[in-house]
Copies of this chain bind each other. A is one copy, B any other.
Amino acid sequence: MVQASSDARDKRFVEDLIDQDDDFDRWYVDVVKGAELADDAPVRGCKVVRPYGYALWENMQASLDRRFKATGVQNAYFPMLIPRSMLEREADHVEGFAPEVAWVTKGGGSELEEPLAIRPTSEAIICTMYAKWVQSYRDLPLLINQWCSVLRWEDRPRAFLRTSEFLWQEGHTCHASAEEATARALQMLEVYRDFVETELAIPVVPGVKSESEKFAGAHRTYTIEAMMGGKRWALQSGTSHDLGDNFGRAFGITFLDSDGQRKHAFSTSWGLSARTIGAIVMVHGDDQGLKLPPRVAPIQVVVVPIWRKEAERDAVEPFVASVLSSLGDNVRVHVDRRDDKTPGFKFNDWELRGVPLRIEVGPRDVQNQQVVVVRRDTREKHIVGVSHLAEVVADLLNQIQRDLYETARTKLHTYTEDVSSLERLYERAFTNAGFSRASWCEDAACEARVKAESRATIRCLPLEQPQEHGLCVVCGRPASVTAIFARAY
């Protein structure tokens, strides 16, 4: 057995990790790689999602999928290739996506007559099928979701946040009335809000996108916006589109209603992607690395056995077994038995990977029938007797989940400011001060000016609007809405 003893080597990676305040972007890249969430791929614009990152995604998927199914949604799978003519049926839609599309032009050894797009999103193929499946009001609503990857060309990838190919889910529903479609779009926004706040411990601002920021082809786009750590930029963390009858008309989705009339169907689509993993990293992480919310963490508790001599090992190992059996099956535990790494290295390594709780089990603990439990988020240590370990661990995991959320919520509130002058809005944008809430007249020219001059954009018009709006922060005319302005990833 080799036990490295040099402290320098123990702390190697974490010492290499740059502080968030020194370079948040590099910190992000290093943490994602160091924690083995993702790695660079030798394919332009793409990343590999490694097992630890994918296990996190699997937990998120399971939790979100349950929520979808509870609202009556079923999963299905549609082809990833979309003929060009099909993509072109909704004019705004193709205009929005065409520049990002990857085209298949050869297949089975010959040139294709018509190029096929790798789906940048699947409205075109799914609405084509819906036109076939929907005949009567009895066929509605149609509530389908798809877990897949989509491709939108990207030359400067950043793991999870911006890659050519990315993992997501896309829900597509079809309804008999405009009201029902709107209600569904809002229902799914609420599912996203609940999921992101409850499972990922990330507070969000639910709202509506401005016309210039809405989905290509949508009547209205709803969004949840989260504030990241570090530069306090916004990350769009899930969107739900009320498509009105735009796609129903473009793709000829019609049905015979109960009143005997043939009508166009109304539809919605909604998506949440693995970029929310980027949000988990940026919202909760610190200079030591990740802090994963217990509810989705691949490993909730890591057990590190500590021993120097074989005799100690012989005492510790059976005790580890009893620790595991007292923890039971309701917690995701990993025992780090690597014999070429010191305990110090392991502590740093699992902190980097954001495991919520660490349990240290040494020779002295065996005698006292106790262990040391250390929280990743606060580094608080608890000496816990094995007899009530399961209970304490369950409580601590719940507490960590709550505390991560509360800490993030406090930051969101602290760094959101009501702003009434353009000067202050720009100052906040240039100094990465967070979200600015300001009145807006809804003139696209005002929105464009702010973007051009400060790179801040309207993230959303929060669903919760004040009674009065005062004057537009840009032009001084009477405002009709209150908007959140911020830089965004």
Contacts and interface: CB of A to CB of B under 8 A. Distances in A.
Question: For A54, A58, A77, which residue has the most chain B Cβ atoms within 10 angstroms?
Answer: A77
A43 interface: yes
A399 interface: no
A101 to B, nearest CB: 7
Interface in A204-262: none
A318 interface: no
B104 A108 contact: no
A57 B86 CA distance: 28
A103 interface: yes
Chain A interface helix/strand/loop/mixed: mixed
Interface string A147-162: 0110101110000000
Interface string A96-111: 0001111111111100
A82 to B, nearest CB: 7
B103 A76 contact: no
Question: For A104, A149, A151, A154, which residue has the most chain B Cβ atoms within 10 angstroms?
Answer: A104
Interface string A127-138: 011001100001
Given A105-B106, A106-B103, A125 B51 contact: no
Contacts of A148: 149
A118 interface: yes
Contacts of A116: 43-44, 102
Given A79-B46, A149-B80, A100 B106 contact: no
A76 B48 contact: yes
A322 interface: no
A49 B99 CA distance: 29
A81 interface: yes
Nearest to A98: B109
Contact of A75 (B58, B74, B106, B128): B58
B81 A54 contact: no
Interface string A66-88: 00000000111111111100100
A105 B103 contact: yes
Given A76-B54, A106-B102, A153-B107, A129 B81 contact: no
A74 to B, nearest CB: 4
B129 A39 contact: yes
A78 to B, nearest CB: 5
A57 B118 CA distance: 23
A167 interface: yes
Contacts of A50: 76
B105 A105 contact: yes
A13 B258 CA distance: 24
Contacts of A77: 48-49, 54, 57, 149, 167
A21 interface: no
A357 interface: no
Nearest to A107: B102
A340 interface: yes
Interface string A5-46: 000000000000000000000000000000000010111101
- Which A-B residue pairs are the 4 nearest by beta carbons? A108-B153, A51-B74, A46-B79, A102-B107
Interface of A: 39, 41-44, 46-51, 53-55, 57-58, 74-83, 86, 99-109, 115-116, 118, 125, 128-129, 132-133, 138, 144, 148-149, 151, 153-155, 164-165, 167, 340
19 contacts: A39-B129, A39-B132, A39-B133, A41-B125, A42-B125, A42-B128, A48-B77, A48-B78, A48-B79, A49-B77, A51-B76, A58-B75, A77-B167, A101-B107, A102-B104, A102-B106, A103-B107, A104-B104, A109-B153
